[in-house]
């Protein structure tokens, strides 16, 4: 199958172009995890035909689970379609809802991820709770704890903790516990955000099914929304991930816009059944 290795601010993808195949992909979980061993990636992406949009984007994390959205993956898929068509704007369908993308100068792509979902049932949470600051805490090794994260669904669920020094956190040690906590029945992406100013956030994300990644687009979007709801930032900020900078804007209509760089690394040889 036609496939490419790509990344968005270091967030690594294999993108399969299945448009025109006449069928939806149905990879077994074991096939996705095996592919991740031979072609390391954070997410596997597939473009498929869709009658209501320019294409349908599907996303699997490297643990083989299909998820609703991938912000940087959407930007990467849109970039490839822009190269193919010469267009500057398009729409994509996804499990997480419709998205639109536009080409920016310098090779960057901006995507409208749709509205931030903020009700406790939409995250979802196991019980009713104020999503501005969850009544939830995580003990830290050696003492202390993280508490009061903001919860946001950006096509997939996020809990964002605000911390003094994100570099000092043992994220690999605490991330899995947050991801699998019973409070989050669909598991959760755990974000750890250090606000540096009203328009600047340093962010690391433990992604459900992928672990600690160099960048997470929906995580960047969730971090801005959660920060603004807690009065920590304005509605625009640059999110600094390990792999690069991701400008995010939460507009007056409630939609969240994510932009940033995209890189095509080369073709990938993928068998029909992986």
The whole-number pLDDT of residue 274 equals 65
pLDDT for 204-215, tens place per residue?
A: 999 999 999 999
Q: At what angle do helices 217-229 and 71-85 cross, to 10 degrees?
A: 130
pLDDT for residue 63 is more than 90: yes
pLDDT for residue 272 is more than 90: no
Catalytic (active-site) positions? 70, 216
pLDDT for 238-258, tens place per residue?
A: 999 999 999 999 999 999 999
pLDDT for residue 48 is more than 70: yes
Contacts of 109 (CB under 8 A, 6+ apart): 75, 76, 78, 79, 82, 101, 102, 103, 259, 260, 262
Beta strands 145-147 and 137-139, pairing class:
antiparallel
H/E stretch holding 171 reads helix 171-179
pLDDT for 190-230, tens place per residue?
A: 999 999 999 999 999 999 999 999 999 999 999 999 999 99
- Asked if residue 160 lies in contact with residue 152, where contact means CB atoms within 8 angstroms, the answer is yes
The whole-number pLDDT of residue 52 equals 93
The whole-number pLDDT of residue 273 equals 63
Over the chain, what is the mean pLDDT? 95
- Asked if residue 138 lies in contact with residue 145, where contact means CB atoms within 8 angstroms, the answer is yes
234-268 burial: b if 16+ Cβ within 10 Å, else e: eeebbbbbebbebbbbbeeeebbbbbbbbbeeeeb
- Asked if residue 175 lies in contact with residue 187, where contact means CB atoms within 8 angstroms, the answer is no
Domains of the chain by range and CATH?
A: 3-113+261-267 (3.10.310.10), 120-259 (3.10.310.10)
Q: How confident is the model at residue 29 (pLDDT cuts 50, 70, 90)?
A: very high
């Amino acid at each position: 199958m036609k496939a490419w290795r790509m990344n968005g601010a270091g967030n690594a993808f294999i993108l399969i172009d299945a448009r025109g195949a006449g069928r939806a992909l149905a990879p077994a979980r074991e096939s996705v995890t095996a592919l991740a061993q031979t072609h390391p990636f954070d997410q596997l992406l597939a473009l498929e035909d869709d009658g209501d949009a320019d294409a349908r984007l599907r996303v699997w994390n490297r643990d083989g689970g299909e998820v609703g959205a991938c912000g940087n993956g959407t930007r990467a898929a849109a970039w490839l379609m822009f190269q193919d068509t010469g267009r500057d704007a398009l729409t994509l369908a996804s499990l997480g809802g419709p998205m639109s993308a536009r080409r920016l100068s310098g090779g960057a792509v901006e995507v409208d991820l749709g509205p931030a979902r903020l009700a406790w049932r939409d995250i979802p949470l196991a019980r009713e709770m104020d999503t501005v600051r969850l009544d939830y805490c995580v003990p830290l090794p050696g003492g202390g704890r993280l508490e009061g994260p903001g919860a946001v669904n950006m096509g997939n669920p996020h809990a964002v903790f605000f911390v003094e020094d994100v570099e000092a956190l043992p994220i690999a040690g605490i991330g899995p516990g947050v991801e699998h906590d019973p409070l989050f029945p669909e598991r959760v992406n755990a974000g750890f955000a250090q606000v540096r100013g009203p328009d600047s956030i340093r962010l690391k994300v433990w992604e459900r099914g992928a672990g600690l990644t160099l960048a997470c687009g929906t995580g960047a979007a969730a971090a801005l929304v959660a920060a603004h709801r807690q009065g920590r930032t304005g509605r625009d900020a640059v999110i600094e991930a390990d792999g690069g900078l991701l400008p995010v804007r939460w507009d007056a209509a409630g939609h969240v816009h994510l932009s940033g760089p995209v890189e095509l690394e080369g073709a990938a040889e993928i068998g029909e059944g992986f």
